[in-house]
Amino acid sequence: MRNLKQALANNDTIVGTWCNSGSPIIAELLASCGFDYVCVDVEHSAVDLPQTQQLFQAITAGSPNCAPMVRLHGVDYSLVKRYVDAGARGVVCPLITTKAEAELLVSAVKYPPHGKRGVGFCRANRFGLRLAEEFVAANEEVLIAVQIEHIDAVNNIDEILSVPGVDAVFIGPYDLTASMGITAQFEHPDYLEARDRILQACQKHKIVAGIHVVQPNTEELLKRSAEGYRFLAYSLDITMLMHTCTAGVAQLRSFLAK
């Protein structure tokens, strides 16, 4: 399985996508497309923990080189560790706004002595068959990304990035602009300034910068890569499906109207 943390340590850029549909078929298909990771979104979808584990299995079936990730619903110790137990090799946590929240996230993901994650038989350690190996590997391999998507987080960015165990930042453009009163105005100078502040802080603290290019726009993805973002998310399954179907139907209707 792709070791995302090692890839980033090697100065590689990783590109993945989001899975919101809850469909194991789509998750398996996405993994087979060549993405470095597929991230199951449990924040903005109806996908629950048992479904997430099934989706992780589908991702692994689609490609052993595609890492399963999860975008958590928030910082909740009792649930965060269960998603890692289910097999997540990376977590993205939304709405991290303070150092204390980042510390709680790291504590939930990492085993002692670096965290407080409980030890039990689970899918991540092959239900106990690889418990000792996974105990060591998990702390070294599971990618921890804090999602910066509120202006309060931007103002606290240096404190947040000072937390040991935080590997990456992931900008949530919609929520960040919403918190600034400029929802979805991605060319607004205030948003661009906030994004620059985040990127500069990442460079200062030697933390990988990431961002979600929500619309399936490869040109924008290339621009973000050129700016220095190395943890990229390219759209999401439901949006790509909608765009393809809408464009195809519109083209057909235009032809039939002639």
Give residue-wise pLDDT tens across range 85-106.
999 999 999 999 999 999 999 9
pLDDT band at 215 (very low <50, low <70, confident <90, very high): very high
pLDDT band at 165 (very low <50, low <70, confident <90, very high): very high
**Residues 59-74 pLDDT 10s:** 999 999 999 999 999 9
pLDDT band at 170 (very low <50, low <70, confident <90, very high): very high
pLDDT band at 2 (very low <50, low <70, confident <90, very high): confident
d(CA 162, CA 99): 8
3-state DSSP helix/strand/coil % of the chain, to nearest 5: 50, 15, 35
Q: How high is the pLDDT of residue 243?
A: 96
Q: Which of 207, 194, 84 is nearest to 150 (CA)?
A: 194
Q: Is the pLDDT of residue 176 over 80?
A: yes
d(CA 144, CA 132): 21
Q: How high is the pLDDT of residue 173?
A: 93
Quote the percentage of the chain above a pLDDT of 70: 100
- Catalytic residue ranges: 44
* H helix intervals, 142-236: 151-155, 157-161, 173-179, 189-205, 218-227
End-to-end Cα separation, the chain, in angstroms: 51
Q: Which domain covers residue 72, as residue numbers?
A: 4-256
Q: Is the pLDDT of residue 1 over 80?
A: no
Q: Which of 92, 84, 90 is nearest to 124 (CA)?
A: 84
**What is the distance of C-alpha 45 from the center of its chain?**
14
**Residues 15-25 pLDDT 10s:** 999 999 999 99
pLDDT band at 258 (very low <50, low <70, confident <90, very high): confident
The count of structural domains within the chain is: 1
Angle at 74 between CA 107 and CA 61, to 5 degrees: 85
What average pLDDT does the segment 188-200 reach? 97
Is the Cβ–Cβ distance between 145 and 169 less than 8 Å? Answer: yes
Mean pLDDT estimate for the chain: 96
C-beta atoms surrounding 217 within 10 Å: 13
Query: Which CATH number is 218's domain given?
Result: 3.20.20.60
What average pLDDT does the segment 229-255 reach? 96
